[in-house]
């Protein structure tokens, strides 16, 4: 019945001229063709389409069959003959239909797909879409760009496989689909390369820009969040292969080096809306950061890279990219930022990075971002790695650079543990300055005195929270003990003896008062808890604790006492070092007075 209806419409249209086809004819053909597909007469429909007499009809009306055709292809099993007939119909439509009409039909079908069928639909329609685009004469660059943008927009919501198992399973087909999209783009890349060798016509430049946009989108998704390390047991890592292809496209069209070094002058969209402009800028920054990671860490395109740049210049070029990556919280992106920073630093010799680089804002902002990772990241291995990289960063600077960086981090870190770590570094630099033969003006004399003003002080004087600042205080006391022991009062290379009165006034005396107050407070708390414990029916009485608005697990009285005793132990530790420092100062001062 469906086949008879189709034959009747075909016979009627065969006697008409192309210009005489009416809207009613299009509708009748679509309904009859769809019915043939749904009733299982795909073979008969294929015969009609392959019939030379129907060439004009199919050219004008065939594109209407795309939607039902795709539905039927997914309905039949892989080995079903009817599915094979449907695939042949799709191939014939790509060859025979009006390119413009079929292009819109294919694009509409890709746009309407969602969920688990996205990758399947895209991979099914890539070949006919490529065939159609290669036939287009007008607005070809625009059509290629529209196709690639539509495909990437449909893929972007899909989760990127990250673990080895997820990549091997490729549940939604994303790994396979991404590499299929690259193959789809290759004829257009070759066209740009071929035409660029001949001349630089505007249309070719337009197509080139569309390919750059595709590569930039691919760098942001899926490559920015993808696992790109070599995985054991996976012979050809799909995302590594995809990354290689994207780098190759950029190299072949002559845009790899300009993008890597920020010299690409593309005709990006001009947004009157500032919000859209900001989104575009952020997307571009993410893509370029991923490109830097691929080049400098994974060494994709290394054979194309000019080996003429100094390591310090490469670090300078990459600092904006490192900053972009370190501001992200996803492990897959954050780890790329740490790896890129580490890779750039390892190329540089210790003590060779000039202090002038700290005049660039990124060289101040990036270590501050690194500190945030060290103190706020929930993943321990990330925190440890960021600490190692901070030390690596410090080691690369010359003496003045280290001095400037220390001052900056002490003022901006707002974290006692980080401040304590920096103070330990200051102590190491003073030790080098006192033991080396050549003069070091930055960690001796008046420069050091200025730095010690920052180090040997309490933020709120005697009322400073000593428990919260214990790491910083212990590091400061250890530094002061070192200076008193190492630097003779007669020489006073460090200046500690000349400024001793100020240190006692701003640091030692307030610290002593603060310790006495804190110990008295905590001892009173312990006494109260013990008394309340006797009164309570059970020692398992609990209390709730709220931190930053979040309710923490309930604490028994026993647990509270344990915390209070731990605090007292910390105060005792600080007090013992403080007493030793005061004793050393007294002994050394008395010795000098006796000598005089």
pLDDT in tens, 396-452: 999 999 999 999 999 999 999 999 999 999 999 999 998 887 778 899 989 999 999
Report, in angstroms and rounded to the nearest whole number, the Rg of the chain calculated over CA atoms. 36
Q: 312-326, 335-349, 446-460: which range is least confident on average?
A: 446-460
d(CA 507, CA 135): 80
d(CA 396, CA 348): 7
Count of the separate structural domains present in the chain: 1
Which residue, chain included where needed, has tokens 């001229």?
Answer: 17
Q: Is residue 435 part of a domain?
A: yes
Give whole-number Cα distances, 116 to 46, 73, 74, 171, in Å: 29, 15, 12, 9
Q: Is residue 37 part of a domain?
A: no
Q: Please give the residue range of the domain that contains residue 511.
A: 398-533+555-595
- If we measure between CA atoms, which residue out of 475, 411, 398 comes closest to residue 441? 398
Q: 156-160, 270-274, 400-404, 464-468: which range is least confident on average?
A: 270-274
Q: Is residue 579 part of a domain?
A: yes
Percentage of the chain lying above the pLDDT 90 cut: 58
Find all residues with CB under 8 Å of 590, minimum gap 6, and list them: none
Give 219 or 265, the one with higher predicted confidence: 219
> Is residue 337 predicted with pLDDT exceeding 80?
yes
> Is residue 264 predicted with pLDDT exceeding 60?
no
* Predicted confidence band of residue 553 (pLDDT cuts 50, 70, 90): low
Q: What is the pLDDT of residues 25-70, one digit of tens each?
A: 677 777 788 888 888 888 888 898 888 888 888 888 888 889 999 9
Q: Is residue 434 part of a domain?
A: yes
Give 541 or 214, the one with higher predicted confidence: 214
Give residue 240's pLDDT.
95
First to last CA, the chain: 123
> Is residue 267 predicted with pLDDT exceeding 50?
no
Q: Is residue 568 part of a domain?
A: yes
* pTM greater than the 0.75 cutoff: yes
Percentage of the chain lying above the pLDDT 70 cut: 88
Q: What 3-state DSSP class applies to 556?
A: strand
Q: Cα angle vertex 198, ends 192, 199, to 5°? A: 80
d(CA 306, CA 328): 30
Q: Is residue 483 part of a domain?
A: yes
Q: Is residue 488 part of a domain?
A: yes
Q: Cα angle vertex 439, ends 433, 444, to 5°? A: 50
Give residue 547's pLDDT.
42
Q: Is residue 407 part of a domain?
A: yes
């Amino acid at each position: 019945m469906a086949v008879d209806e189709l034959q009747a419409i075909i016979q009627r249209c065969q006697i008409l001229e192309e210009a005489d086809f009416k809207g009613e004819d299009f509708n009748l053909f679509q309904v009859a063709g769809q019915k043939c597909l749904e009733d299982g007469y795909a073979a008969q429909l294929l015969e009609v389409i392959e019939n030379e007499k129907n060439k004009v009809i199919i050219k004008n009306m065939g594109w209407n069959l795309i939607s039902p055709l795709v539905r039927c292809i997914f309905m039949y099993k892989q080995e079903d003959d009817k599915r094979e007939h449907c695939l042949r119909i799709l191939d014939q439509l790509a060859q025979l239909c009006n390119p413009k009409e079929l292009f819109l039909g294919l694009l509409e079908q890709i746009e309407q797909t969602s969920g688990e069928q996205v990758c399947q639909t895209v991979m099914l329609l890539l070949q006919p879409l490529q065939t159609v685009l290669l036939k287009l004469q007008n607005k070809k660059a625009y059509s290629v760009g529209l196709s690639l943008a539509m495909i990437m927009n449909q893929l972007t919501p899909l989760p990127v496989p990250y673990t080895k198992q997820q990549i091997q399973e490729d549940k939604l087909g994303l790994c396979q689909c991404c590499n299929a999209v690259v193959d789809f783009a290759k004829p257009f890349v070759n066209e740009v390369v071929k035409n660029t060798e001949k001349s630089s016509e505007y249309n070719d430049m337009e197509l080139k820009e569309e390919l750059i946009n595709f590569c930039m989108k691919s760098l942001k998704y899926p490559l920015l969040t993808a696992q790109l390390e070599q995985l054991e047991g996976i012979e050809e890592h799909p995302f590594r292969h995809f990354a290689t292809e994207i780098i190759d496209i950029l190299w072949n069209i002559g845009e790899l080096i300009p993008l890597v070094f920020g010299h690409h002058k593309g005709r990006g969209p001009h947004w009157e809306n500032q919000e859209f402009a900001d989104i575009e800028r952020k997307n571009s920054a993410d893509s370029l950061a991923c490109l830097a990671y691929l080049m400098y860490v994974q060494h994709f395109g290394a054979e194309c890279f000019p080996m003429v740049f100094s390591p310090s210049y490469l670090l300078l070029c990459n600092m904006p990219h490192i900053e972009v990556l370190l501001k992200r919280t996803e492990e897959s992106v954050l780890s790329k930022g740490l790896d890129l920073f580490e890779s750039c630093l390892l190329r540089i010799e210790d003590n060779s990075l000039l202090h002038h680089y700290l005049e660039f804002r990124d060289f101040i902002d990036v270590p501050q971002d690194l500190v945030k990772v060290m103190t706020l990241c929930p993943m321990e291995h990330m925190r440890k790695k960021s600490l190692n990289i901070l030390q690596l960063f410090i080691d690369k600077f010359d003496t003045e650079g280290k001095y400037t960086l220390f001052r900056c981090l002490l003022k901006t870190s707002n974290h006692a543990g980080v401040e304590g770590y920096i103070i330990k570094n200051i102590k190491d630099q003073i030790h080098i300055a006192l033991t080396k033969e050549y003069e070091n003006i930055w960690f001796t004399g008046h420069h050091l005195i200025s730095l010690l003003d920052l180090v040997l002080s309490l933020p709120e004087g005697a009322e400073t929270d000593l428990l919260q600042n214990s790491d910083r205080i212990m590091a400061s006391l250890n530094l002061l003990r070192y200076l008193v022991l190492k630097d003779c009062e007669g020489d006073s290379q460090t200046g500690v003896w000349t400024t001793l009165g100020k240190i006692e006034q701003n640091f030692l005396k307030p610290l002593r008062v603060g310790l006495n107050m804190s110990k008295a407070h905590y001892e009173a708390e312990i006494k109260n808890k013990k008394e309340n414990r006797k009164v309570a029916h059970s020692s398992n009485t609990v209390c709730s604790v709220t931190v930053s608005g979040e309710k923490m697990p309930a604490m028994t009285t026993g647990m509270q006492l344990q915390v209070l005793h731990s605090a007292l132990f910390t105060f005792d530790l600080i007090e013992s070092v403080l007493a030793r420092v005061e004793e050393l100062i007294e002994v050394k001062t008395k010795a000098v007075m006796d000598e005089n």
